[in-house]
Structure 1
Amino acid sequence: MTLAGTDATQDGGEGARTLTAAAVAKAVSGRLIGDPESVVRAIAPLDRAGPDDLSFLASARYSTLLATSRAGVVLVAPDLAESAGEGVKSRVVVEKPHDALLALIPKLYRAPAREPGIHPTARIGRGVALGENVTVGAYAVIEDGASVGDGSWIESHVVVGTGVVVGRECRLHPGVALYPGARLGDRVQVHSGARIGSDGFGYVFRQGAHQKIPHVGRAIVENDVEIGANTTIDRGSIDDTVIGAGTKIDNLVHIGHNVRIGKLCLVMAQVGVAGSAHIEDGVILAGQAGLGGHIHIGKGARVAAQAGVFGDVPAGESWSGYPARPHRESLRSYAALFKLAGMIRGLEKLLARSDA
């Protein structure tokens, strides 16, 4: 595939390349309809795309947007290939347009440039082990005895605490803090403002005051985990807090001490997980769900947005509501609740007639 043309700068400062419609079709093994020389420089939704943009249409639900779109190239599913779209220069027919779009993103957008080396303002402590091709940004601090694996990128103002282990090909975005006791596997990405390994919320009431429980456990993040901005993951009190391989955690999530999250879980924004909860593999926790302490969420379970979970959730089940219960049961409860006002009015009329 040939990459042509001039560079452009997109939001976020990442450089973009250009692709012809013919190159797009070749890259995704699609069938081209229209001008093979149409050039795209960026990606945009159908309703906002211009002549230099690549877009996609995967569902008939949005086919009306194609009729008025001005996109240069549109990826379309086979059953939508003939959809009207006079303003579109070219269409590329593929079985899965969304997957094709994901494959094209790295061909259009360059990753931010990274130059291995240590910025002169960074502080490196005693006994620090840095692997090959490591980048340490401005004003980053790597404290005594820490280690950073090959190819990792420590951006500006990151703090890597004493004895912390960072694996290979990790990326710590600006302002991340890893407390002593944190341990990251390989290919972990942590976004700005996240805190990993801070003390959990543990106190005992003694002699008229809340006495702090010392935390000596670790915060362990396994391979291929991504952690969103301003998320906090507490270290264990005595046991470890563990985030399983391949799990993805959104922004503004709190994970309490001694929590164990399995592999390939999805934890969405503003979820709170209280201490010592155990979450098995493949669980989905939707936004603002709250999980009580010492509970067990079974493998593949799904917890709906804003659910309040105070007990165990069996494997494979979907729970919702407050307090959380099986989803269908929760829907029936809400349906009955919404009927309650009308039932009360009916009862009041019945009582009024009986009193007359």
Structure 2
Amino acid sequence: MGDRGGPYTLGQLAQALGAVLEGDSELVIRGVAPLETAGPDQLSFVTHPKSLPLAASSRAGALLVGAEVKDLRAPLLRAASPQTALIALLKLFHPAPPFSAGIHPSALVASDSRIHPNASVGAFAVIQPRAVVGPRARIFPMVYVGEGVEIGEESTVYANVVIREGVRIGRRVIIHAGAVLGSDGFGYAFDGSAHQKIPQVGGVVIEDDVEIGANVTIDRATLGDTVVRRGTKIDNLVQVAHNVEIGQHAIVVAQSGISGSCRVGTGAVLGGQVGIADHVTIGDGVMLGAQSGVPGDIRAAGQYLGTPARPVAEARRIYAAMPRLPDLLKKVRALERRVRELEARLGIESTGSGEADAD
């Protein structure tokens, strides 16, 4: 994507970002680029210490860095929070495209739906009866909005999203392409001969300022609601099962799966490919490392890792020991043989199980 904002001088950028400038205030910056590809008229950034060697050799005209960064050549923009400053910087050079309200002629919109005059509905979108689309909401092409769905103001629903009947979406929610909200929960009862489907008659509630990644699936509740609370961010390819409740400002990273009736606390973080068994509670502030498996409740805030998930220090000790297990097993076998030999010499009946000798 090309730069749409700017150019700006470094002095203007320093003022806009609340940053301290070290270098030529009149240097013109025309865009933002990664350290590897930035040129003399572009600004790049350092948000992690691992990037410092690359920053030292970058051809960028200027660098956005934290106050603690040393030994980098000027020009520099020093910010108290480089990541926060980077957000503002990207918005300056890549402003949001102009909003255009209206309903595309090819969209299929039920006569008793309510589309705010300042909302936008794209080509071939389908809006079913009694659906409500709020002011400045954007419905991209090929979106399906089911009966009675509510979409709050300034929310964005990208192409090919499916929002089934009765789903309620708050304000400033972002739903990326291919997501499905409100599909049936995976509920069956075995009657001795077949799996009988349990009717899934509940709903889904997405509160304000939630972001939902591409191809996420959030199932409707059996009864009541599946709920994603305010400010939570869900990465691509995540499965949220029926009757789950995710607390405020949680993070759920790609390919994670949250089974039915789980509770995920405020500020919890689920790393990539985390799996949580049904009816499990994850407490406020719990952080689960990538590929953690959680069969039972974890209520105390802290970092956890592994399958089954354990406190991270314990899990790391286990992982560190695992490569040594074959050698340890050989040593145990050797010790057991020596014990049996000693017992035989002393005429003592062996009490060992001999299990370590099994292959």
1-structure distance, mates of 2:72, 2:309: 46
Counterparts of 1:198-237 in structure 2, within 5 Å, are 198-206=183-191, 208-237=193-222
Asked whether the equivalents of residues 17 and 110 of structure 1 are also in contact (C-alpha less than 8 Å), the reply is no
**Paired amino acid for 1:191:** H
Q: 2:309 aligns with which of 306, 321, 324?
A: 324
Change (3 A) 1:80 1:296: closer
Asked whether the equivalents of residues 181 and 235 of structure 1 are also in contact (C-alpha less than 8 Å), the reply is no
| Corresponding position: 1:28 with 2:43 | no
1-structure distance, mates of 2:307, 2:192: 36
Counterparts of 1:334-353 in structure 2, within 5 Å, are 334-350=319-335
1:165 Cα offset (Å): 0.8
Q: Deviations over 1:29-77 (max 9, x none)?
A: 3333333332222212223211121112355553332332111221233
More displaced, 338-347 or 156-165?
A: 338-347
Counterparts of 1:129-148 in structure 2, within 5 Å, are 129-148=114-133
Counterparts of 1:63-212 in structure 2, within 5 Å, are 63-80=52-69, 83-85=71-73, 90-206=75-191, 208-212=193-197
| TM-score normalized with structure 2 length | 0.89
Change (3 A) 1:250 1:58: closer
| Corresponding position: 1:41 with 2:30 | yes
1:3 paired residue number: none
Tell me the percent identity.
Answer: 43
Change (3 A) 1:285 1:119: same
| TM-score normalized with structure 1 length | 0.89
Q: Which entry has the higher C-alpha Rg, 1 or 2? A: 2
Change (3 A) 1:84 1:289: closer
2:290 paired residue number: 305
Q: Give 3-state SS (helix, strand or coil) of 2:7's partner.
A: strand
2:263 paired residue number: 278
**Paired amino acid for 1:65:** L
1:333 paired residue number: 318
| Corresponding position: 1:51 with 2:40 | yes
1:348 Cα offset (Å): 4.2
1:4 paired residue number: none
**Paired amino acid for 2:248:** K
Unaligned runs of 5+ in 2: 343-359
2-structure distance, mates of 1:154, 1:61: 40
Q: Give 3-state SS (helix, strand or coil) of 1:71's partner.
A: coil
